[in-house]
């Protein structure tokens, strides 16, 4: 999800990488080096190697240096035209809130508001040869929300387990963007978009059964650009911020300004740089406005983002199994700096803004591992013991959304065994249950 080509992609998923930095550096994602994540007992958890990479995301994203030349994913960016209403973000009704001193509660969720000290917006310069300006790794906001998730720890997996938690579920691709495409043994054409949607809808049901609020990026076979997905996530976060600001007698001028920027992205609903659909996400690094949005998202730890996909490999039909992808501070920097270091930068990736470095790598890793364990626990056929659980790279919607977020590659449609699992209705329900189990574990057990 590099800004250059704004999309997410491990190197081996060339299709998905279409809008990556790889447009020189590719079509949907910048080249980024994957790094190993924390290991988990009995689960493979090294980062991507040169044997496996993800294809460019159709509207933006960087290819992952750790990917292999054979495996690619088709462009990501499916969904209907998002408009701040129903389809662009369908949510359950909010829990009523109660106040206890400076602490507000909504179900199990507790949060407090405070005025921050004067934020630091001074720019430092990276120490490598790029001499790239960098934003401070602290919040740019003059106000702060502290979310307390302690009430969830130890909760039973029941109908109130995730009360107050919001999960944005993103079924990848859709309509004019089919994602990866293959043919099954009966000669039927299978589109990735037709696998991700039923899994995403089933995941919505599983999460709502735990009392989570679910926002869908799409619920039909429709087109939603990568940057519309970014806007849907941003508006969900701003809903919460405005609730808190209003409760505390504060102005919402800055959130309304950001909403205007996000609405432009929703209205245009296009990933091409020339269209203007990338909005405040255009270019390398982060503008001051995008930094404000990313920092606001960083403080809403009760909201997470899960994007559902299926993998493919043109060169190796034995490649199989579940994989998860995250973007980290280092993977985004490594990817974008590849383009930054060129003698000239393609106009598609301009302007060059300061590097942003305030992602929560640890939480992203925890969620990815919890989902990996949950899905492989429900569907053991998707466990590739020789593979890895977590890969890192620069993927557009993971880079432009600073929530705890994970890209879930449910399996390889280029592998006959995986394809049989991914197209089976019962298995799709089990995959969705495994992801929901992972979300429950992340909030209530980790």
Q: Over 60: is that where the pLDDT of 203 sits?
A: yes
pLDDT of amino acid 124: 81
Q: What is the mean pLDDT of residues 407-427?
A: 98
- Distance between terminal CA atoms of the chain? 28
Q: What is the mean pLDDT of residues 14-43?
A: 34
Q: Which residue has the higher pLDDT, 14 or 288?
A: 288
User: pLDDT category, 220, cuts 50, 70, 90?
Assistant: very high
Fold classified for 13-404: Aminopeptidase (3.40.630)
Q: Over 50: is that where the pLDDT of 31 sits?
A: no
Q: What is the mean pLDDT of residues 296-310?
A: 98
In this predicted structure, which of 249-258, 292-301, 344-353 has the lowest mean pLDDT? 344-353
In this predicted structure, which of 72-86, 114-128, 166-180, 359-373 has the lowest mean pLDDT? 72-86
Query: pLDDT tens digit string along 50-69?
Result: 333 333 333 333 333 333 33
Q: What is the mean pLDDT of residues 301-330?
A: 97
CA separation (Å) from 43 to 61, 272, 307, 376, 394? Answer: 27, 39, 21, 9, 24
Q: Over 50: is that where the pLDDT of 313 sits?
A: yes
Which residues fall within 8 angstroms of residue 119, CB to CB, at 6 or more apart?
A: 138, 139, 140, 141, 142
pLDDT of amino acid 122: 83
Query: pLDDT tens digit string along 154-199?
Result: 999 999 999 999 999 999 999 999 999 999 999 999 999 999 999 9
Q: Over 90: is that where the pLDDT of 296 sits?
A: yes
Give domain limits for the chain: 13-404
In this predicted structure, which of 98-102, 235-239, 279-283 has the lowest mean pLDDT? 98-102
CB-count burial class (<10 Å; 0-12, 13-18, 19+) for 55: buried
Q: What is the mean pLDDT of residues 22-35?
A: 33
Query: Is-contact 224 169, C-beta < 8 A?
Result: no
For the chain, what is the mean pLDDT? 81
């Amino acid at each position: 999800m590099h800004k250059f080509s704004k999309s997410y992609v491990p190197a081996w998923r060339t299709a998905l990488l279409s809008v990556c930095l790889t447009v020189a550096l590719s079509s949907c994602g910048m080249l980024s080096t994957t790094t190993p994540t924390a290991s988990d007992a009995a689960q493979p958890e090294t980062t991507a190697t040169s044997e496996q990479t993800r294809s460019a995301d159709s509207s933006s994203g960087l290819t992952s240096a750790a990917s292999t030349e054979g495996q690619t994913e088709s462009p990501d960016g499916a969904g209907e035209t998002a408009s701040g209403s129903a389809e662009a973000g369908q949510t359950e009704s909010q829990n009523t809130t109660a106040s206890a001193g400076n602490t507000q509660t909504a179900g199990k969720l507790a949060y407090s508001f405070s005025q921050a000290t004067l934020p630091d917006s001074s720019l430092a310069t990276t120490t490598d040869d790029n001499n790239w300006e960098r934003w401070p790794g602290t919040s740019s906001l003059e106000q702060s929300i502290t979310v307390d998730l302690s009430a969830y720890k130890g909760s039973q997996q029941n109908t109130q387990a995730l009360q107050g938690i919001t999960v944005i579920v993103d079924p990848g691709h859709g309509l004019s963007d089919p994602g990866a495409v293959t043919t099954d043994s009966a000669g039927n054409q299978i589109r990735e978009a037709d696998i991700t949607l039923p899994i995403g809808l089933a995941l919505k049901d599983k999460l709502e059964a735990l009392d989570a609020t679910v926002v869908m990026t799409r619920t039909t076979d429709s087109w939603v650009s990568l940057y519309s997905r970014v806007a849907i996530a941003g508006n969900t976060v701003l809903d919460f911020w405005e609730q808190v600001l209003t409760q505390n007698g504060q102005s919402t001028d800055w959130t309304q300004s950001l909403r205007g920027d996000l609405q432009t992205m929703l209205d245009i609903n296009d990933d091409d740089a020339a269209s203007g659909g990338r909005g405040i996400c255009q270019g390398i690094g982060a503008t001051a406005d995008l930094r404000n949005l990313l920092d606001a998202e960083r403080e809403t730890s009760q909201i997470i983002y899960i994007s559902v996909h299926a993998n493919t490999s043109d060169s190796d039909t034995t490649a199989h199994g579940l994989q998860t992808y995250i973007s980290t501070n280092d993977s985004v920097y490594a990817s974008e700096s590849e383009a930054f270091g060129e003698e000239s930068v393609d106009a598609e990736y301009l302007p060059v803004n300061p590097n942003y470095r305030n992602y929560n790598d640890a939480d992203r890793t925890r969620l990815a591992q919890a989902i990996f364990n949950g899905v492989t626990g429900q569907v053991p056929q998707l466990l590739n013991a020789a593979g890895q659980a977590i890969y890192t790279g620069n993927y557009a919607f993971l880079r432009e959304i600073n929530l705890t977020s994970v890209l879930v590659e449910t399996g390889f449609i280029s592998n006959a065994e995986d394809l049989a699992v991914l197209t089976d209705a019962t298995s799709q329900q089990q995959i969705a249950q495994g992801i929901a189990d992972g979300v429950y574990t992340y909030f209530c057990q980790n």
